[in-house]
Chain A
Amino acid sequence: MKTAILGAIAMLAVAAMLAPSAAPPTAYFEDRTAHSGISFVLNNAASPERHQIETMAGGVAVFDYDNDGYPDIYFANGAEQPSLEKTGPQYRNRLYRNKHDWTFEDVTDKAGVGGAGYNIGVAAGDYDNDGHVDLFVTGVKGNTLFHNRGDGTFEDVSRQAGLESHDWAVAAAWVDYDNDGLLDLFVVNYVKWDPATELFCGDAERGIRTYCHPRYYQPLPNRLYHNNGDGTFTDVSAVSGIGAHPGKGMGIAIADYDHDGWMDVFVANDTVPNFLFHNQHNGTFREVALQAGVGYNDDGKALSSMGVDFRDLDNDGWEDLAITALSDQTFPVFRNLGHGLFSDVTYQSRAGIISMPLSGWSMGIFDFDNDGWKDVFVAAGDVQDNTEMLSSGKSRQQDLLMLNDGHGSFRSALAGPAAQNRGAAFGDFDRDGRVDAVVTRLNEPPVLLRNIMGDGNHWLALRLVGAKSNRDAIGARVVVRAGGMTQVNHVTTSTGYACSSEPAVHFGLGRSSRADSIEIEWPSGLRQTLTNVAADSFLTVRERPAP
């Protein structure tokens, strides 16, 4: 059955019937799951009581754990209820090694990353600058830091690192907020949840139970951990100001949105206003979402914000925000006006009418068709698994691809099979210069989507290696000039909902076979410029030693 669903057939993304300017049917992705060797099934331990945690599972990371130049995949998984323990193999998290030919090998046991507890999200980052990417896994009753030993194995160092917590954490981001060359950790917490006090929600008359609205749960503040550089972290939530803001966080994205040289943090909150933490350059943050115009949407409503990415969509040099939310809410797009303010351009960009019928979870902003304009991919699926019994909506939804037309608008296409899609992480699995995707689905195997768009378009991908800056170069800003266009992107692994994507900075160059220049602004403040760079290659650029 699953094989049939996931057959390796070229998948025609259905041109959305949502909009007059929708593209004619075109092939966008090819489903490469069936023969990939990936047997993982996301197990949310669904219960008749419909505990809130069940609808939230599905984090996935795309990262190169063995430094072979090809990104691997790590899936977070649920656990038995009510124990919230991984009591059997069906609940283990899984690590798959990329064998470079669209097949993957399950190396979970060897790597020792099966995990513990009911896990939700993943964040990948080299926190100790040893050249081996580590993993932080969030969970309902505790988080885990897996230190990559560099020999194909990991070690759980949560306790000695000082990262133990009992809050329900959903997402996390590695970010060097104080520019000291070490990745710090921002953990996004959701709500206080106790299965013993779970309410009956749904249609009592008909006995139809649903997952409850977030208003029935108390919010939690997020946590910021400062990296001490010796393998330990200090909880600086209080002194940084982060801990003063209880929310219902789901997604996190980082960017230096005002170009002051210090990384800022956006947290997508569920039904309460989003947070935009503006870095004050002194170890503290000021929450400015309402001032900046990104706390609420244009309607003055706090949406069920879930996934988020923070990159320049209109090539004006300023990082914009795209967020996912529930059906009938739209997926907001906030245009960065460049002076600390954002404008809600959800409807002007057509993201509003495109997204209205869908519930979006993880997402990412990447130039999928390499035309020089970044697009948006959204993993879609309803919160409820019985939506059809209660509304015109659908539980199982196809993923959404919003293709940027370069004139401020998106055209839409649906991609992948319909499912309760949750996680989505991105990376170029076959190194063909196209950004691929892996999508997790509740109680089904994931879908591995090979990008087949943009024939004839050129591209560049940069892997930055920091020296004075953090080794992953998270936060580095890259400006590429090619064919009369200027594009900006930055290094981050924090994309979407509870997910982590490949840190390579990717640029579509359209018909340009060369980049006139590539400027890199490292988190350390150093700048490097490359000129006349041939397209269609992966470049590794190392930060110059400080003079």
Chain B
Amino acid sequence: MIRASGAGLAALLLATRLVTAQDTQDRLLAAANTAYRSLRAAEAVGLYRQYLALYPDRADVRVFLGGALLNLGQLDAAFDEANRAIALDDRYAKGYILAGRVCAAREQWDRAQGFFETAQRLDKRDPDAWYFSGRAFYDANRFEPAIAAFEQALRAGAEQSRIYENLGLAQDALGQFGAAEKSFRKAVDLAGAAWRPYLTYGAFLFRQNRPAESLRMLREALALAPAAVDVRFELARVLYHENSLAEAAQVLDPARPSNECRVHNLLARIYSASGKGGLAEAEVKALENCKAAPDGP
């Protein structure tokens, strides 16, 4: 009885330890996923690697790790993870999607689409296979197939803001301004707390010479993402052209630490137009050692 009780206690302790260990691993994965979603890619990579040291056969986690590596620009390592995921489960569509994304980042457009097509065959209902295919077509300046891919992603049942946003960008690139605006509106409707759809729509409205509507969207974006340089730049640009120079400077000045050329360039214009020659000259000086702006969304 005692022995039995002892064995039971041991089993209980073992079970408790196992549960605790499992709990720890779950927490590790959750933390990694949170870091990934929060765009803390380096932290996510570290956490995913810790997790995979314990569970090396998780194809899904290898894809997450590859995604984080891709965000860090470590394309070879990301591609390795995609291949490992595919080796673990060659029916797992996400592995091929990751491989396609890496190829797209390398501007290997045909190869990328080959991976996306495999993913689409394996899981017709995975909108990501179509979404990332559309992104790759867009980046390759092939806007018609990009639109087709985004529309397929929507047909796959994904009412995602980012798909509408990218659909709008492709339509905009082809001069289909009416359709683009509808897509941008839908992206904003579905945006939730995401700021980028407001920014994209606001920038579109500026290009259409509709500054008042543009300002409304961009102010929404700023409220959601006060730290985003993209948002501050676009809002300040519209304010500058609307001759609201003081507010334009106020909006853009916090983006100065980014040292992006476009920020210094616009600040120089704002200060020049405001008659603040000294400040303008300082911004022109800063243009000599600035960083190029990142490409669009």
Contact B280 A205 (CB under 8 A): no
* Contact (A347, B207) CB under 8 Å given A17-B175, A301-B293, A353-B177: yes
| Contact-residue bracket for chain B | 35 or more
| Contact-residue bracket for chain A | 20 to 34
Query: For the complex, is B174 an interface residue (Cβ under 8 Å from A)?
Result: yes
Query: For the complex, is A545 an interface residue (Cβ under 8 Å from B)?
Result: no
A222-279 residues at the B interface, CB under 8 angstroms: none
Query: For the complex, is B239 an interface residue (Cβ under 8 Å from A)?
Result: no
Which of B175, B237, B268 sits near A353, CB closer than 8 Å? B175
Query: For the complex, is B273 an interface residue (Cβ under 8 Å from A)?
Result: yes
Contact A391 B111 (CB under 8 A): no
* Contact (A300, B141) CB under 8 Å given A205-B111, A290-B284: no
Contact B280 A291 (CB under 8 A): yes
* Contact (A391, B272) CB under 8 Å given A348-B241, A353-B177: no
Which of A293, A295, A345, A350 sits near B272, CB closer than 8 Å? A293
In the assembled complex, which residues on chain B have CB atoms less than 8 Å from the CB atom of A290?
265, 268, 284, 287
A301 to B293, CA, bound (A): 8
In the assembled complex, which residues on chain A have CB atoms less than 8 Å from the CB atom of B273?
337, 341, 343
In the assembled complex, which residues on chain B have CB atoms less than 8 Å from the CB atom of A350?
209
Closest residue of chain B to A352 (Cβ to Cβ) is B207
Task: Classify the interface of chain B: helix, strand, loop or mixed.
Answer: helix
A20 to B141, CA, bound (A): 24
A17 to B143, CA, bound (A): 17
A384-410 residues at the B interface, CB under 8 angstroms: 390-393, 409
* Contact (A391, B262) CB under 8 Å given A206-B110, A353-B175: no
Q: Give the Cβ gap from A280 to chain B, nearest Cβ, in Å.
A: 17
Contact A328 B207 (CB under 8 A): no
A391 to B143, CA, bound (A): 8
B98-127 residues at the A interface, CB under 8 angstroms: 108-111
Contact A293 B206 (CB under 8 A): no
* Contact (A353, B207) CB under 8 Å given A290-B287, A296-B261, A392-B142: yes
A497 to B168, CA, bound (A): 34
Query: For the complex, is A298 an interface residue (Cβ under 8 Å from B)?
Result: yes
Query: For the complex, is B263 an interface residue (Cβ under 8 Å from A)?
Result: yes
Query: For the complex, is A5 an interface residue (Cβ under 8 Å from B)?
Result: no
Query: For the complex, is A381 an interface residue (Cβ under 8 Å from B)?
Result: no
Closest residue of chain B to A299 (Cβ to Cβ) is B262
Contact B144 A300 (CB under 8 A): no
In the assembled complex, which residues on chain A have CB atoms less than 8 Å from the CB atom of B174?
357, 392
A353 to B208, CA, bound (A): 7
Contact B264 A300 (CB under 8 A): yes
Q: Give the Cβ gap from B214 to chain A, nearest Cβ, in Å.
A: 10
Query: For the complex, is A203 an interface residue (Cβ under 8 Å from B)?
Result: yes
Selected A-B contacts with CB under 8 Å, 22 pairs: A18-B175, A19-B177, A203-B110, A205-B108, A206-B110, A290-B265, A290-B287, A291-B272, A298-B237, A301-B261, A301-B293, A343-B273, A344-B269, A345-B241, A348-B209, A353-B207, A353-B208, A356-B173, A390-B141, A391-B141, A391-B142, A392-B144
7 closest Cβ pairs, A-B complex: A300-B262, A391-B141, A300-B265, A300-B261, A392-B143, A290-B284, A18-B175
